[in-house]
Amino acid sequence: MRPSIRWRRWLFLGGVLGLVALGLFGRHVYEFARTPLGKGEPAVVQVPQGASYNGVIGRLVEQGWLAPGDSLEMKVLGRALGATSRIHAGEYRVRPNMTPLTLLNNMVGGKVILHSVTLPEGWTVRDFLRRLAAQDSLDGQSLPGGPRDPELLRLLGLQDAGFASAEGWLFPDTYRFPRGEEAAVLLDKSHRRMERILSREWRQRDDGLPLDSAYEALVLASIVEKETAVPEERPMIAGVFMNRLRQGMRLQTDPTVIYGLGEEFDGNLQSHHLEQRTAYNTYRIDGLPPTPIANPGREAIRAVCQPAATEALYFVSRGDGTHVFSETLTEHNRAVRRFQLGGR
Continuous segment of H or E residues that includes residue 173: strand 173-178
Domains of the chain, by residue range, sit at: 27-109, 114-198, 207-339
The whole-number pLDDT of residue 6 equals: 53
Q: What is d(CA 75, CA 171) in angstroms, rounded to the nearest whole number?
A: 45
For the purposes of burial, counting CB atoms within 10 Å of the CB of 235, is it exposed (0-12), middle (13-18) or buried (19 or more)? buried
The whole-number pLDDT of residue 5 equals: 57
Task: List pLDDT tens digits, range 115-166.
Answer: 999 999 999 999 999 999 999 999 888 799 899 999 999 999 999 999 999 9
Q: What is d(CA 220, CA 122) in angstroms, rounded to the nearest whole number?
A: 12
Q: What is d(CA 45, CA 104) in angstroms, rounded to the nearest whole number?
A: 12
The whole-number pLDDT of residue 10 equals: 46
The whole-number pLDDT of residue 20 equals: 43
* Other CB atoms within 10 A of residue 282 CB: 24
Could you list the pLDDT tens digit for every one of the 344 residues in the chain? 555 555 555 454 444 444 444 444 456 556 767 778 777 788 888 888 888 888 888 888 888 888 887 777 778 777 877 877 888 888 989 888 888 888 888 888 888 999 999 999 999 999 999 999 999 999 888 799 899 999 999 999 999 999 999 999 999 999 999 998 899 999 999 999 999 999 999 999 999 999 999 999 999 999 999 999 899 999 999 999 999 999 999 999 999 999 999 888 887 888 888 888 999 999 999 999 999 999 999 999 999 999 999 999 999 888 888 999 999 999 998 988 888 776 55
Straight-line distance from the first to the last Cα atom of the chain, in angstroms, rounded to the nearest whole number? 126
CB 108 within 8 A of CB 92: no
Q: Supply the DSSP string of 23-37, one letter for each residue.
A: HHHHHHHHHHHTS--
Contacts of 20 (CB under 8 A, 6+ apart): none
Q: What is d(CA 251, CA 241) in angstroms, rounded to the nearest whole number?
A: 6
The whole-number pLDDT of residue 84 equals: 79
Domain 27-109 has CATH 2.40.220.10: no
The whole-number pLDDT of residue 342 equals: 62
The whole-number pLDDT of residue 29 equals: 59
Q: What is d(CA 243, CA 251) in angstroms, rounded to the nearest whole number?
A: 10
> Chain-centre distance of CA 207, in angstroms?
33
CB 71 within 8 A of CB 138: no
